[in-house]
Amino acid sequence: MTRMVRVASGQGFWGDSLDAPKQQVEGGPIDYLMLDYLAEVTMSILQKQKERDPQMGYARDFIGAIESVLPGIVDRGVKVIANAGGVNPVACAHALVKAIARAGHGGTVKVGVVTGDDLLPRIDELLAAGHELKHMETGAPLSTVRDRVLSANAYIGSTPIVEALQQGAQIVVTGRSTDTALTMAPLRHEFGWAADAWNQLAAGIVAGHILECGAQSSGGNCLHDWRNIPDLANVGYPIAEVQSDGTFVITKHPGTGGRVSVPSVTEQLVYEMGDPHSYITPDVVADFTSIHVAADGENRVRVHGITGGPATPFLKVSIAYRAGYKAVGSLVYSWPDAMEKAELAERILRERLDRLGLRFDQVLTEFVGANATHGHLSGDGRDAPEVQFRVGVRGEDRASVERFTREIAPLVLNGPPSVTGFAGGRPKVEEVIAYWPALIDKRVVTTQVEVIS
Amino acid sequence: MSDDTVQVRLLDIAHTRSGDKGDMANCGVIALRPEWYEVLVQELTTERVRSHFGALISGPVERFELPNLNALNFLLHGALDGGGTLSLKTDAQGKVVSTAMLRMILTVPKTVAAVRGLPVYSPTL
């Protein structure tokens, strides 16, 4: 007899729906809830928070999410896997244990925590040992930005999460696990897939890829037939019903909105895709040209035929470093001749910035409503009812960026006419955190698992 | 366009989704019907896609075929003005590069359009 395991997606990024986790736990049967909180930019924000307060550095929304599902997961025996730990998974796990105790479930719900992905304290040791951490695209050595590095985390796979589940954790908190590992780990734990069962492992990765962006596979942000996708206000998040051989069905709870269809799942499959023959993860290299998708009833899509091969000897490392400052401001110009007025505003502003002698690495102007996203493909935008003139600058010198932010508002009274849309006030200066993707020999990254209650 | 060809809007035969990978945008193009996938393979060459995007991207275009999904995946190098947090663009993560792709108008042999049942685009009508 084939057993089936249901993994539900309840969060596609930090900032996603606060209600989705509860909807997934209470809307129908599931076995696991996976919550993906981390993007590259999230890690550096969390690192800044941790610098200010050593007890911070994790996705605090996660504690509220668990509080919202706690009665449900206790009643139903649902397990939760989340990379909410950010750059401080231990503090996250301890905050979680306290919240569980406050809710009266102390001692019954065990929390597993995975560490070892954080390479920031080890960077100099690694460089000294000959791990160059060269930029994956440019080949530049890390030494060029070493003194500006803010965080450095290896993307770790599913193995330590599986260990935490084997040790009896009902909730597993990780730092920079890959998004797909959050789905893969429960499947390896339940089915006991061997470390070289490449086809099954590849299927786990594909299931993870479909779940990791939340409702983006169940009707959200779906271009195909978008007008007819029902009830997005009540969109159901995706669920993978996985068999031990790695075949699975993507579906959602009954009574929810959105749509699970071959087109909705296929759009998610091609999202952020590189070379489809080798989707590289710490666990397996999956071949996306092997995936077959077929309708399997209403809001059900069957996914099968997936193949994969051995993982590489490397892990990807995401390093964040300080890269100057930026600010973006905008004004809205109205018909008639909205575009011409906006273009005149651009010329005036550039002339004033030149005269001030400010130093920027880049000044970018766009005309939103006319051609900001489609450029020359857009037509001339000459009869637009309004055009947003949007201008951004970026540079190493904070004072120059600060001075730029004072140059937008004056245009309201001393530039072209028919201007509005400035209620937001002066643009804010932001520090730019840039990314440095690198590879590292996976043997030097060791993970630890602890189960606390 | 000669008498032997017709125009077909990509918008009428495919749907798309895009995202970012560093300073690259990826764009998946999925045929709306399985029988239109071959048309995408024939017509959406890297050269045509590179020329369509013109100054919107600064690097080359790579193409991968996914006949299993009736889809092509394109990597548009230098599409995001530095990408990620460095980019000042509205679409810094390439989320709607997919819709710029859909503006392509393909010139297809009449015979192919007839055999494949392609929706012919007639802008003047």
Higher model confidence: residue A71 or residue B124?
A71
B119 occurs within a structural domain: no
SS3 A437: strand
Q: Please give the residue range of the domain that contains residue B28.
A: 13-103
Answer whether A232's CB lies under 8 Å from A258's CB. Answer: yes
Answer whether A258's CB lies under 8 Å from A215's CB. Answer: yes
The angle subtended at Cα B11 by Cα B31 and Cα B4, nearest 5°, is 85
The string of pLDDT tens digits covering residues B57-116 is: 999 999 999 999 999 999 999 999 988 889 999 999 999 999 999 999 999 999 999 999
Mutant choice from A228, A273, A364, A431 vs B, greatest count of B C-beta within 10 A: A273
Q: In the listed set A312, A346, A364, which residue is the last one of a domain according to the structure?
A: A312
The total number of residues written for chain B in this structure: 125
Q: Please give the residue range of the domain that contains residue A21.
A: 4-117+155-312
- Residue B125 scores a pLDDT above 70: no
B3 occurs within a structural domain: no
Residues A342 and A402 occupy one common structural domain: yes
The string of pLDDT tens digits covering residues B1-31 is: 678 999 999 999 999 999 998 899 999 999 9
The total number of residues written for chain A in this structure: 453
A342 occurs within a structural domain: yes
A169 occurs within a structural domain: yes
Residues A292 and A395 occupy one common structural domain: no
B2-27: b (≥16 Cβ within 10 Å) or e: eeeebebbbbebbbbbbbbbbbbbbb
Structure tokens at A363: 């000044």
Q: In the listed set A312, A338, A353, which residue is the last one of a domain according to the structure?
A: A312
Mutant choice from B10, B11, B13, B15 vs A, greatest count of A C-beta within 10 A: B15
Judged by a CB distance cut-off of 8 A, whether residue B59 touches chain A is: no
Mutant choice from B41, B57, B66, B70 vs A, greatest count of A C-beta within 10 A: B66
- Residue B124 scores a pLDDT above 80: no
Tell me, what's the pLDDT at A1? 41
Residues A248 and A108 occupy one common structural domain: yes
Tell me, what's the pLDDT at A381? 82
B72 occurs within a structural domain: yes
How many domains does one find in chain A?
2
Q: Which residues of B touch A431 (CB under 8 A)?
A: none
- Which residue from B89, B96, B99 is facing A364, i.e. has the nearest CB? B89
A443 occurs within a structural domain: no
Structure tokens at A358: 């400010």
Judged by a CB distance cut-off of 8 A, whether residue B26 touches chain A is: yes
Residues A337 and A252 occupy one common structural domain: no
Tell me, what's the pLDDT at A39? 85
B5 occurs within a structural domain: no
Answer whether A351's CB lies under 8 Å from A365's CB. Answer: no
Judged by a CB distance cut-off of 8 A, whether residue B55 touches chain A is: yes
Residues A350 and A245 occupy one common structural domain: no
CATH number at residue A386: 3.30.70
Low-confidence stretches of chain A (pLDDT < 50) are 1
CA–CA separation, A180 vs A143, rounded Å?
31
Residue B84 and residue A40: Cβ atoms within 8 Å? yes
* Alpha helices in A169-212, H assignment, sequence order: 181-191, 198-211
Tell me, what's the pLDDT at A313? 97
Residue A267 and residue B15: Cβ atoms within 8 Å? yes
Q: In the listed set A269, A286, A312, which residue is the last one of a domain according to the structure?
A: A312
Judged by a CB distance cut-off of 8 A, whether residue B76 touches chain A is: no
Judged by a CB distance cut-off of 8 A, whether residue B34 touches chain A is: no
Tell me, what's the pLDDT at A2? 53
